[in-house]
């Protein structure tokens, strides 16, 4: 595409709820163990919202932090995209509510639904508006609060998820200084029912009320197989596109779904362990928030050396998957 401008990734930030639920806490809910959960998922604990917290409060914290780090005033933000599959309300959108809370009064706002790929889809969507000159400052937030949509009496799915929010501020710069090296997005409905959160069980015509709240349903094995197949494929596709090889990439940040998926992909792709960012052990799977939380924490902990080239790969319900390559300076 015609690029009139480049994109600068100015700052990353994240926010987690205060309540920490350890694997040993889950043993009080059902028959499980820290050892079973840790060896199969790499997760030790996750953060879950309490009554005074929500997707919005987490988004506000992450957004305010990213704005503070960026020197961009809230009123200078032109566009807010919130990627989420678990909005606090079906409407108003999370992005409009966030706009009000952070004082971004001149922003255009919309939510983007692509499940765990939402943050990657959000970056790519934002980039189109910056490349064509429509918008200068764009805030992209990934947030999910899956704890409200889990069956906490069922042990296969509820062990996986945690709540959280992550954000990035993207601004336009000279085309020659572009920090977005390339991207690749995909969707495929072939096994979409293997991961779903149904919202269609209230029907006026049948005067039917939901028998129980709507819970996430997942075929864990099918999702595992999907991830370890498509993630290496999309990484190879993107590397070809940008004419890079694995050795030229400094950091790999996969959607933090499961440590076994992260290990399998990095081994298959021959990424040295030191290049692979993982924080799933203490946050669990935070869906659309997982990539920006992982980056933000890694920067905070000085694990990222600049300048660097970084691959971000999202995959999730839909099914959706996609990768972006960044050259952060
Ligand atoms: N504690 C103890 N035992 C358990 C638990 C638990 N929490 N959950 C299931 N089991 C038991 C089962 O009942 C079963 O027992 P059985 O053999 O007596 O019938 C046994 O453990 C094996 O169960 P499986 O469902 O076959 O377990 P599996 O080895 O497939 O592991 C898991 C389940 C961890 C979910 C795995 O399938 C997986 O990693 N899938 C990837 C899915 C994923 O990461 N999803 C993330 C969300 S989606 C996304 O972000 C894109």
Structure tokens at 52: 């005074």
Kindly state whether residues 165 and 47 are assigned to the same domain. Answer: yes
Q: What is the pLDDT of residue 200?
A: 74
For residues 267-278, average pLDDT = 96
Structure tokens at 120: 């990657």
Considering the candidates 116, 137, 146, 258, report the single residue annotated as catalytic: 116
Domain containing residue 99: CATH number: 3.40.47.10
The mean-pLDDT minimum among 29-33, 67-71, 162-166, 199-203 falls in: 199-203
Q: What is the pLDDT of residue 190?
A: 73
Q: Is it the case that residue 212 has pLDDT exceeding 80?
A: no
Q: Is it the case that residue 253 has pLDDT exceeding 70?
A: yes
Structure tokens at 309: 């080239």
Kindly state whether residues 221 and 84 are assigned to the same domain. Answer: no
Residue 257 Cβ < 6 Å to ligand 1: yes
Which residue, of 134, 151, 176, is where some domain finishes? 176
Split at pLDDT 50, 70, 90, the class of 189 is confident
- Residue 224 near residue 230 (C-beta atoms within 8 A): no
Q: Does the annotation mark 116 as catalytic?
A: yes
Q: For the chain, what is the domain count?
A: 2
Kindly state whether residues 199 and 121 are assigned to the same domain. Answer: no
Q: Does the annotation mark 285 as catalytic?
A: yes
For the chain, how many residues are written?
329
Which residue, of 176, 210, 241, is where some domain finishes? 176
Q: What is the DSSP string of 289-328?
A: GHHHHHHHHHHHTT--PSSEEEEEEEEETTTEEEEEEEEE
Q: Which residue, judged by its Cα, is nearest atom 14 of ligand 1?
A: 156
Kindly state whether residues 99 and 20 are assigned to the same domain. Answer: yes
* φ, ψ dihedrals at 164, nearest 5°: 170, 175
Q: For residue range 34-92, what is the model confidence (pLDDT) as tens digits? A: 999 999 999 999 999 999 999 999 999 999 999 999 989 999 999 999 999 999 999 99
Kindly state whether residues 140 and 111 are assigned to the same domain. Answer: yes
Q: What is the mean pLDDT of the chain?
A: 95
Question: Is position 253 within any domain?
Answer: yes
Q: For residue range 233-244, what is the model confidence (pLDDT) as tens digits? A: 999 999 999 999
Kindly state whether residues 151 and 216 are assigned to the same domain. Answer: no
The residue range of the domain holding 302 is 180-328
Ligand 1, atom nearest to 32 Cα:
1
Q: Does the annotation mark 214 as catalytic?
A: no
Question: Is position 21 within any domain?
Answer: yes
- For residues 231 and 227, give the distance between their C-alpha atoms in angstroms, rounded to a whole number: 6
Q: What is the pLDDT of residue 209?
A: 56
Residue 83 Cβ < 6 Å to ligand 1: no
Question: Is position 1 within any domain?
Answer: no
Kindly state whether residues 138 and 191 are assigned to the same domain. Answer: no
- Residue 266 near residue 273 (C-beta atoms within 8 A): yes
Structure tokens at 233: 């494929």
Q: What is the pLDDT of residue 260?
A: 98
Report the residue among 221, 234, 260 best suited for mutation to probe ligand 1: largest number of ligand atoms under 8 A from its CB. 221
* φ, ψ dihedrals at 147, nearest 5°: -60, -25
Report the interhelical angle of 259-268 vs 220-241 (nearest 10°). Answer: 40
Kindly state whether residues 41 and 111 are assigned to the same domain. Answer: yes
Structure tokens at 146: 């899956």
Q: For residue range 102-146, what is the model confidence (pLDDT) as tens digits? A: 999 999 999 999 999 999 999 999 999 999 999 999 999 999 999
- Residue 163 near residue 49 (C-beta atoms within 8 A): yes
Task: Say if residue 8 is exposed, middle or buried (CB neighbours under 10 Å; 0-12, 13-18, 19+).
Answer: buried
- Expressed in angstroms and rounded, the spacing between residue 233 Cα and the centre of ligand 1 is 24
Kindly state whether residues 112 and 29 are assigned to the same domain. Answer: yes
Kindly state whether residues 194 and 316 are assigned to the same domain. Answer: yes
Q: For residue range 83-112, what is the model confidence (pLDDT) as tens digits? A: 999 999 999 999 999 999 999 999 999 999
Which residue, of 143, 176, 209, is where some domain finishes? 176
Residue 285 Cβ < 6 Å to ligand 1: yes
Kindly state whether residues 83 and 19 are assigned to the same domain. Answer: yes
Q: Provide the 3-class DSSP secondary structure of residue 8.
A: strand
DSSP 198: -
Kindly state whether residues 110 and 12 are assigned to the same domain. Answer: yes
């Amino acid at each position: 595409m015609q690029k009139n401008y480049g994109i600068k990734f100015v700052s990353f930030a994240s926010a987690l709820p205060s309540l920490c639920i350890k694997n040993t806490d889950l043993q009080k809910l059902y028959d499980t163990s820290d050892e079973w959960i840790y060896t199969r998922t790499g997760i030790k604990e996750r953060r879950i919202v309490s009554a005074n917290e929500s997707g919005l409060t987490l988004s506000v914290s992450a957004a305010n932090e990213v704005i503070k780090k960026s020197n961009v005033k809230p009123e200078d933000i032109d566009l807010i995209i919130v990627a989420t599959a678990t909005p606090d309300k079906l409407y108003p959108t999370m992005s409009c509510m966030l706009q009000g809370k952070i004082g971004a009064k001149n922003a255009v706002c919309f939510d983007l639904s692509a499940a765990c790929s939402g943050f990657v889809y959000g970056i790519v969507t934002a980039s189109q508006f910056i490349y064509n000159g429509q918008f200068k400052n764009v805030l992209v937030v990934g947030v999910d609060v899956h704890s409200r949509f889990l069956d906490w009496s069922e042990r296969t799915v509820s062990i996986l998820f945690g709540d959280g929010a992550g954000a990035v501020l993207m601004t336009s710069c000279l085309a020659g200084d572009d920090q977005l090296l390339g991207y690749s997005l995909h969707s495929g409905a072939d096994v979409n029912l293997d991961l779903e959160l149904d919202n269609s069980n209230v029907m006026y015509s049948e005067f039917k009320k939901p028998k129980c709240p709507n819970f996430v349903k997942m075929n864990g094995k099918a999702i595992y197989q999907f991830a370890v197949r498509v993630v290496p494929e999309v990484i190879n596709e993107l590397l070809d596109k940008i004419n890079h090889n694995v050795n030229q990439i400094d950091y790999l940040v996969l959607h933090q779904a499961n440590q076994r998926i992260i290990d399998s992909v990095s081994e298959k792709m021959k990424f040295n362990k030191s290049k692979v960012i993982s924080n799933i052990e203490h946050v669990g799977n935070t869906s659309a928030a997982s990539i920006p939380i992982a980056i933000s924490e890694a920067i905070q902990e000085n694990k990222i050396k600049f300048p660097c080239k970084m691959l971000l790969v999202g995959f999730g319900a839909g099914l959706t998957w996609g990768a972006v390559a960044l050259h952060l300076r």
